[in-house]
Homo-oligomer: A and B are copies of this chain.
Amino acid sequence: MRPLLIMRPDDANVAGNVHGGTILKMIEEAGAIISTRHCNSWNGERCVAALARVERTDFLSPMCIGEVAHVSAEITYTSKHSVEVQVHVMSENILTGTKKLTNKATLWYVPLSLKNVDKVLEVPPVVYSRQEQEEEGRKRYEAQKLARMETKWRNGDIVQPVLNPEPNTVSYSQSSLIHLVGPSDCTLHGFVHGGVTMKLMDEVAGIVAARHCKTNIVTASVDAINFHDKIRKGCVITISGRMTFTSNKSMEIEVLVDADPVVDNSQKRYRAASAFFTYVSLSQEGRSLPVPQLVPETEDEKKRFEEGKGRYLQMKAKRQGQPESQP
């Protein structure tokens, strides 16, 4: 499966680097196609695959306007009710012929019945070429299930506006974006494509990062994104971002997505998705710059800073163990 797309000016920031959100959207589109096709491959009830979670994703090298993106997707594990898809993204400069790996991503989908989108169907089992694949997949499945439950629990708090905040504080850079869900954001069955949500999440994270360090910034990685609930047509969604942690050369931004069924009064606002984005600051020449140190003020901010530091150190340790992961 190989979608190709030429990157256009609107896909990129002012320095010509394609937004991480555009790449996440392409990844999700490829994942949705392959998993919907797979879930309909036995003659059961017709269904559509809905995005449930994206594992941590690194942006290994920047993609630029005019390059061609190659996206390939493969089903790597199936549980009774979910599908794991691995997606690779390459960028190709068609003038020089140079190709580079820009992303590897792992996504989890759940098949929803077309007749009743609240009903989860069974997934046809995938055939593994090696026996270990099933066992490795099962471990990844159990790990993500556990991780999902943890995020669900911590979703209560929201981003609140503060007046005239000091530079380098959390309040100074925090940002919210409101989006009215329109027909072209949605699947045929009336809920928002996961890729559309991820693109908006990256957009808010980018605004937070740019406000904090006032330079050209790019997405370096996205921590697992959990989709707690479907967003339906006719909702207004609020995407809020706040900085949680800075290291010398990176910024971590928490992004929360809340859906608000404006017209239907009977349903309450609910948390639809959440994730942590990591951004780096770049000089004109594309080298990474030091980042101003974040100043947490409240007790909650200090707690989140420490949690962010924990994730940062854990990831650093992991990378030092696997030096080939960042070519």
Residues of A near any B CB (own CB < 8 A)? 1-6, 8-10, 13-15, 17, 19-22, 24-30, 32-33, 36-37, 40-41, 43, 46-48, 50-60, 62, 65-66, 68, 94-97, 101, 107, 112, 114, 117, 144, 147-148, 151-152, 155, 157-161, 174-180, 182-184, 186-191, 193-196, 198-204, 206-207, 210-211, 214-228, 230, 233-234, 236, 240-242, 256, 258, 260, 262-265, 271, 274-275, 277, 282, 284, 286, 300, 325-327
Contacts and interface: CB of A to CB of B under 8 A. Distances in A.
A40 B10 contact: no
B21 A4 contact: no
Given A176-B176, A282-B15, A4 B33 contact: yes
A207 B236 contact: yes
A234 B94 contact: no
A160 B144 CA distance: 37
Contacts of A40: 94-97, 262-263, 265
B193 A29 contact: yes
Indicate how many identical chains form the complex.
3
B147 A199 contact: no
A57 B201 CA distance: 14
Given A68-B207, A94-B211, A199-B25, A226 B148 contact: yes
Nearest to A157: B300
A18 to B, nearest CB: 9
Given A17-B282, A21-B202, 13 more contacts: A2-B4, A6-B29, A14-B65, A19-B199, A24-B222, A29-B180, A32-B194, A33-B94, A94-B211, A95-B210, A97-B211, A144-B224, A188-B234
